[in-house]
Amino acid sequence: MYDENDLKHEFVQLLTEDGTVKETAELPNLTDEQLVDMYEWMVKMRLFDEKMLRMQRQGRIGTYAPFSGQEAAQIGSAYALRKHDWIFPSYREMAACMVHGYPMKQAILYMKGHLQGGHTPEGLNIFPVQIIIAGQTLHAAGCAMAAKLKGEDDISVSYFGDGATSQGDFHEALNIAAVNKAPVIFFCQNNHWAISVPLHLQTASQTIAQKAVAYGMKGVQVDGNDILAVYNVMQEAVKRARNGEGPMLIEAVTYRQGPHTTADDPTKYRDVKEVKDWVENNDPLRRFHTFLQEKGLMTEVKLEQLRERFNEEIEQAVEEAEAFKPSTTDEAFDYVYDKPHKLLIEQKQEVQRMLAAKGGN
């Protein structure tokens, strides 16, 4: 008879919900400076997320996907990567992308719908944001296979949510990556909700991590609100990938504190008490702050200074982005192909004539 407990899975947690170190925990080998730097990224990204949410409500950016509550999962994982590694993000991974080097101004341009906003700066290995659910899993697998064939030691990381595991692309990507021992990491941020669909309607399995078993790869479930645990698990996955041991599936259990996007009203489907419990008792910033405070590395005064500094940095990036010349409709044709063909040029010219006639963009 089938027994779901036969599918063993590992759950990794180093810091408990109240910020204390578990007795059996082996903390990562990070300096005090690195620990503080990780926390600073968390604070900065929380402030950035809150700022973007306000800007959307003010009509200054387009539809926005908040990530508050998922900072530990994104920052802890991205912090374990090398500069030349590849990130394949969905629309909720701005924190991971910025840790990897993506400029804040560029991120704001993207959210404003500027054509330049989708351009990745030279030398930065981040693919454009993928809107198609789970599409980036295949892209990451392909990139990793290419790196292996070329003898490079780059690894690829695909970020996606729990809802993406219901898509065929997810399963195809895991299968082809495992068969070819591709140096790729599949990083699932299980935030419990795929818009209004809860996790129990996505899968009947106990965990998402155990799905790795079917494809012959290692799967680990980690406390996604514990930044040190995420970093440790990601380090192991990175090491395995570089050593030719193949891909790994990581399920970071976290929670989306806000709406799916600014076009969503989570009060229609989510229990307010559930949200309150996660925010008050399992916030990743509060947990890591307590840990650093116990080590004498952070105080409330220092935190307030950080907030002041980062708010200034964010406002500066917003100011620069809003001063950037808006895209015009005809410019969109320049981003279709590397070398435009005759029909595309004709279409662009037609739009330019229409714009000239209307005197607008």
Task: Write out the catalytic residue numbers.
Answer: 256, 260, 269
Contact 264, 63 (CB under 8 A): no
Four-point Cα dihedral 66, 160, 199, 181, nearest 10: -160
The identity of residue 4, as a single letter, is E
Spatial distance between the Cα atoms of 43 and 247, rounded to a whole number of angstroms? 31
Spatial distance between the Cα atoms of 358 and 361, rounded to a whole number of angstroms? 8
Contact 155, 183 (CB under 8 A): yes
Q: How many CB atoms lie within 10 A of CB 335?
A: 12
Spatial distance between the Cα atoms of 141 and 156, rounded to a whole number of angstroms? 7
Spatial distance between the Cα atoms of 11 and 291, rounded to a whole number of angstroms? 20
Contacts of 322 (CB under 8 A, 6+ apart): 60, 112
Spatial distance between the Cα atoms of 220 and 223, rounded to a whole number of angstroms? 10
Q: How many CB atoms lie within 10 A of CB 280?
A: 9
Q: How many CB atoms lie within 10 A of CB 278?
A: 18
